[in-house]
Chains A and B, each alone.
Chain A
């Protein structure tokens, strides 16, 4: 028998050093500036790329090993879910609408993040961040794929899941997340890292994945919980990358601080506006609730973000200036967003409804200073009217914010009963924004935002009808044509949950699953 020699393996630190350094070279027949054209134009000064360190010290070989393990676990659950009619185990069919919004509004962004990190990896001259960006880019494409795959099980049975890719570039509310990522992707690699790597991943994704996925578990949706947590296990690494990146920039040169601070202020606000959709999902779309949006905000933004910014203070970084506005908004935005989708439910690719009395009691307990005072009367009125056959659908397009592209539904910081109007004049043209935060972003880079593809204006320009549509014919119905252009089938994908095909099918199938007749 051979003797087993106990060969000493490389330690983690040594292995990381070997596998993330010295992989590059100085170019000869092209200048380094030409090979890395995006490395300097943003004004960020880097003196020593080797100072970059990934605290996880993850190398590509380990990356593949652990990612493969995560995939095996995930697909075991997805198979079980599909084989056992897992879709009938959810609390009630209203829940399905939350994951429709997830598939149409969030999964495509994972794909954009994949492209963005691939580009950032390409554009950074340092090997350490290139390796980290490569891993994150692969993670993001994995997230897009696993989410689409997991939710395809729902597409077999329910409406609204059928054409997320087509919808992303067309549907009015999907322009909100789409334009957010487009804004980040069209900046330079360092701003991208602050926008997505730091502000979105570190400060905000916990709010998306942790309470919402725990909510999916609470509502019996095994498939979503599993892809959610599987994705989130990568997010811990992304958060670390985001934090590392900001520390790296701040330590490299004191001149980087004002640039970084400006980006933090901008992207915290941009991200928070996008998360309005998540707030609404948590407070209104999960039949069984884990925690309110406000509670999640307090844990993951106020406490965790507070710890983070307390720590970054040693570099001179300040808490994003939007914090005062956000503290006011946490009481309101989920209700304001749901009210919006309820009334524009004719043009949404998911169903909407009014909360039951029990649910309204829950909301008023969670939002004691705002729900009863500002929202309950409105919601009760709508519910009573719907019961009388007079369900409210707005018949006119809304005014949108030029920056976040959300309808102008947010209220004044000092008056939750008054819509907040802000406007700017730029080169003879008026531009409207929903808040001081969005106005400041517009005024800082008007050239960028004057190009915004605002769905409402595009509809009025006649750009949102199927090819060959003649809007001048007698009795032309613009809304019907817009829905057709969205690939949204009127009467199936949209309108109230009550009376929907989803509701009927779910009840029938669950009945079949639990009875013998």
Chain B
């Protein structure tokens, strides 16, 4: 619905991709690991290899968790906007078609957090 306003109400969005100096926003959450209170937000160049995202960038964010060292990316599954999604590790996030502000959920079956509490 349109905003009820005194005058014409048109404004441009605050977070379009052109404002991120060549980067794009990507959000990544790790299911069943609520020790990380919310999904993380990254600003990455589209040329970032997906393998680098997993092995370096996510490892840096999630590495504190004792489960992280047990994550096996060959069996892990992903959701993109809640739908199953299959990445090719050798491709970049741009080549994989990930768009600005896309959200991924990493699922690592068998890993259920501290004492199985999904934390």
Contacts and interface: CB of A to CB of B under 8 A. Distances in A.
Complex A–B touching at CB under 8 A: yes
Interface string A263-286: 000000000000000000000000
Contacts of B16: 429
B118 A374 contact: yes
B70 interface: no
B76 interface: no
Interface stretch (A4-12, A161-169, A211-219, A397-405): A397-405
Interface in B75-119: 81-82, 99-103, 105, 113-115, 117-119
Nearest to B63: A395
Interface residues of B, number: 50
Contacts of A339: 34, 37
Secondary structure at chain A's binding surface: helix, strand, loop or mixed? mixed
Contacts of A197: none
B53 to A, nearest CB: 12
B39 interface: yes
A186 to B, nearest CB: 9
A360 interface: no
Contacts of A392: 35, 64
Given A408-B38, A460-B23, A454 B11 contact: no
B14 A432 contact: no
B16 to A, nearest CB: 7
Given A423-B81, A430-B101, A460-B23, A377 B38 contact: no
5 cross-chain pairs, A with B, having the tightest CB-CB distances, nearest first:
A378-B119, A417-B118, A407-B38, A377-B117, A460-B43
Given A43-B4, A419-B31, A451-B14, 20 more contacts: A41-B5, A344-B37, A374-B117, A377-B115, A378-B35, A398-B38, A399-B27, A407-B38, A408-B29, A408-B38, A418-B118, A429-B13, A430-B103, A450-B11, A452-B14, A454-B14, A460-B20, A461-B19, A461-B21, A462-B21
27 contacts: A336-B37, A339-B34, A343-B37, A374-B119, A377-B119, A378-B35, A378-B119, A399-B27, A399-B38, A399-B39, A408-B29, A408-B39, A411-B34, A418-B31, A418-B118, A421-B29, A421-B39, A430-B100, A430-B101, A447-B11, A450-B14, A451-B11, A451-B13, A453-B14, A457-B25, A461-B19, A462-B21
